[in-house]
Structure 1
Amino acid sequence: MVPYIVERFRKIGWEMEMFSLPKRIRNKGQEEIEFDTFDWRPYAGNLVVERYIQTYKDYLWWTKLRLKEQKYDLIHAHHPIAALAMSRVFPDIPVVMTVHSSFERELMLNGRIEAGGAEEKFLTSIYRELEQRTSRLTTVSHSFAAYMGAFLDHPERIQVIPNGYDEKRFKPISHDNEVAQLVTVCRLVPAKGLDILLQGCAELRKRNRPFVLHMIGDGPIREELETMAQKLGIYDDTIFYGYMLHPEELLPFFDVFVLPSRAESFGSVFAEAALCLLALVGTNVGGIAEQIENGVNGLLVPPEDPVALADALETFITDPHFRYEMARAASNKAKKTYSLNRVIGELKRNYLSLTEGLDEGESVEETEES
């Protein structure tokens, strides 16, 4: 989303620069790290913590090397380490931080760390540090704002700005598939519930409901999923694509988007699938439940429930008219609620309130001539 935001702001005359830490920069930073709100040293020795601290050091080193003499009115960070580094290097410049997801929950769901362990305690302590060090905290869903707020002194100050998309990128195509085409797009990791998806599709096979499942994405459990599909007897009905740079170019040819995630801060791919005019099936968790109203613009199912998932998919497979109505409703909501224009407007108000004293409630249009 960020490159499209930068491009849109440039078109209206705002100079913007994108800055990130290149992958080739490793172990360059040597500066000692201190946090304002907690002592990180009790967590030292844990691999996740050590990598986080070293990445922070590298980001500080790279920022000072490349940006120290630059003059900015405002910095908008989209990763906690970026926000922490920028606030150190540019202490007099407002920093907006958008927290897009929970690193600790992802690591726990993917079996990388244990709940309640040192790594989770360290990573959740970062939220309060961000609250202390940035001018404004935003996130992408009310669900994640509630989660993050448990670790803050002033959770009421979190702003929710859902992701936005340029609908010109998405081009629905009229088609009539004889067999229902199901698709999922994600990184192949345990947190996405893809084992539940395969079990749900196996249940469809038992019910003699024909389908083809398209799995777009790659990740550490791909081989495990392929083996599972073979054991469940649905390998011939499943296509593993691997990583794809622009899946939105292929999505319009499918019928149903399905992703039974175990957790999701927002679930960007649901909005993208909706803009491609696909019917949506998701789990009743996090930001997914804010995008889908069950039976109104898609179907929600409980997590960890392959039978309920199969029931929802079967509903769409056997009732193309209902499927189309849900897809239309999902598309209409995505265009209205998750438009890039809306995001630009909200960000513009945010930026001006921090740099020019504009009240956040003031209309963007009132500032166009200033």
Structure 2
Amino acid sequence: MKILYISPRFEGGIGGHAFRVAEKLREQGHDVKLMKVPHIPIKKLKNPSFTMFGILKSLINREKYDVVHAWNIPSAFVMKYINADKKILSVHGVYSEQVEILHSKTTGSLASKAELMAFEISDRLTTDSKTVQKYYNEKINADFIYLPAPLDTKKFNNINEIEKKKNQVVYIGRDSYEKGIDILKKIEPRINGNVVYCTDLPWEKTMEVLKSSNILIVPSRMESLPQVIKEAFYLKIPVIATNVGGVSEIIIDHETGILIPPEDPSKMLDAINSLLIDEELQKKLLENAYNFIMKFFTWDALLPKYLNLYTH
């Protein structure tokens, strides 16, 4: 099959999800191209400029594709002008809610209208979270296919063996409001350990830091289903995360990880300091989490579902 992927970037979050799927489909013999679109690197202009430049690029693109796959709402408006037999849109999280939190209620209202327009453009809709799937179904009766982001366990073969660092807590993610990094920094002086922030390291280096840590902390205000939690599960690093978005789909409290309320510094601090000294609970969490991720989120489990999405 000839497939075109459209995304503002192909790293981190949904862009990283797209890149990993593209790599796997190429291994299966499919021709997958990534559309690279420039944008203006200013917060309020990133998405509008991406959409504008992307549409211009689509209008001059004369190629015909079996499938075009847009990886977020702005990408759908670029996808509209591509000649393809099937058009697919994937979203991580509820787009209008994210926009409202990051910008304003007025902008969030405009984003709600953009969602509806993007869904109309698409033949198929997918999301990596059952929570998001349920939200859109109940709110606007949109039919989303649940298709989680896979974990490519082979990539971990290149991660160096690294010595554990006593009482190391790691944060992995963007340095941005929705990720709650400011909340973690607020309690950092009272954490009985050392906090390491990985906000812009290469993936391999980030995984080395994760592997050397005792706890991964995910303090987000909003999420879809963070890939880094799956990575921690595979590396057998206990996870503490806020109960937002689809996090509770993979973290069963005190079974595969620890769930805490969002924007609650006190409970976050208590959870971190308690888990750092509870080696028995750490062992229970990491073993359960590893078994869970290997059963449901590897390519062995998910590749047939991706192939079915494109061929049916």
Which TM class, normalised by the smaller chain length?
0.7 to 0.9
Greater C-alpha Rg: 1
Report what 2:228 is aligned to.
269
Describe how 1:105-144 pairs up with structure 2 within 5 A.
105-110=97-102, 113-115=103-105, 117=106, 119-144=107-132
Q: Is the 8 A contact 1:109 1:190 kept in 2?
A: no
Please report how far the alpha carbon of residue 162 of structure 1 lies from its aligned counterpart in structure 2 after TM superposition: 1.2
Report what 2:275 is aligned to.
316
User: What secondary structure is seen at the aligned counterpart in 2 of 1:294?
Assistant: coil
Unaligned runs of 5+ in 1: 27-46, 205-209, 218-242, 354-370
User: What secondary structure is seen at the aligned counterpart in 2 of 1:93?
Assistant: strand
Report what 2:249 is aligned to.
290
Q: Is the 8 A contact 1:282 1:299 kept in 2?
A: yes
In the alignment, which of 182, 185, 193 is matched to residue 211 of structure 1? Answer: 193
The amino acid across from 1:56 in the alignment is T
Counterpart CA distance in 2 for 1:150 and 1:306 is 32
With over 3 angstroms needed to count, the CA separation of the structure-2 counterparts of 1:193 and 1:57, relative to structure 1, is closer
The amino acid across from 1:88 in the alignment is Y
User: What secondary structure is seen at the aligned counterpart in 1 of 2:196?
Assistant: strand
With over 3 angstroms needed to count, the CA separation of the structure-2 counterparts of 1:88 and 1:317, relative to structure 1, is same
Describe how 1:1-370 pairs up with structure 2 within 5 A.
1-23=17-39, 48=44, 52-65=47-60, 67-68=61-62, 70-90=63-83, 93-110=85-102, 113-115=103-105, 117=106, 119-149=107-137, 151-152=139-140, 154-155=141-142, 157-170=143-156, 173=161, 175-177=163-165, 179-204=166-191, 210-217=192-199, 243-246=200-203, 247-353=206-312
Counterpart CA distance in 1 for 2:71 and 2:302 is 14
Q: Is the 8 A contact 1:97 1:134 kept in 2?
A: yes
Q: Is the 8 A contact 2:38 2:50 kept in 1?
A: no
Using the size of structure 1 for normalisation, the TM-score is 0.72
With over 3 angstroms needed to count, the CA separation of the structure-2 counterparts of 1:176 and 1:24, relative to structure 1, is closer
Please report how far the alpha carbon of residue 136 of structure 1 lies from its aligned counterpart in structure 2 after TM superposition: 0.5
Counterpart CA distance in 2 for 1:25 and 1:271 is 30
- Name the % identity: 21
Using the size of structure 2 for normalisation, the TM-score is 0.84
Counterpart CA distance in 1 for 2:260 and 2:221 is 11
Q: Is the 8 A contact 1:170 1:249 kept in 2?
A: no
Counterpart CA distance in 2 for 1:138 and 1:103 is 13
Q: Is the 8 A contact 2:39 2:53 kept in 1?
A: no
Q: Is the 8 A contact 1:87 1:93 kept in 2?
A: no
Unaligned runs of 5+ in 2: 1-16
Please report how far the alpha carbon of residue 321 of structure 1 lies from its aligned counterpart in structure 2 after TM superposition: 2.7
Q: Is the 8 A contact 1:182 1:211 kept in 2?
A: yes
User: What secondary structure is seen at the aligned counterpart in 2 of 1:262?
Assistant: coil
Counterpart CA distance in 2 for 1:25 and 1:266 is 26
Q: Is the 8 A contact 1:170 1:272 kept in 2?
A: no
> Which structure would you say has the larger RCO, counting Cα contacts within 8 Å and 6 or more residues apart?
1
Structure having the higher strand fraction is: 2
Q: Is the 8 A contact 2:90 2:125 kept in 1?
A: yes
Counterpart CA distance in 1 for 2:146 and 2:19 is 20
Counterpart CA distance in 2 for 1:175 and 1:294 is 28
**C-alpha RMSD over aligned residues:** 2.5
Counterpart CA distance in 2 for 1:136 and 1:340 is 21
User: What secondary structure is seen at the aligned counterpart in 2 of 1:250?
Assistant: helix
Q: Is the 8 A contact 1:5 1:340 kept in 2?
A: no
Report what 1:37 is aligned to.
none
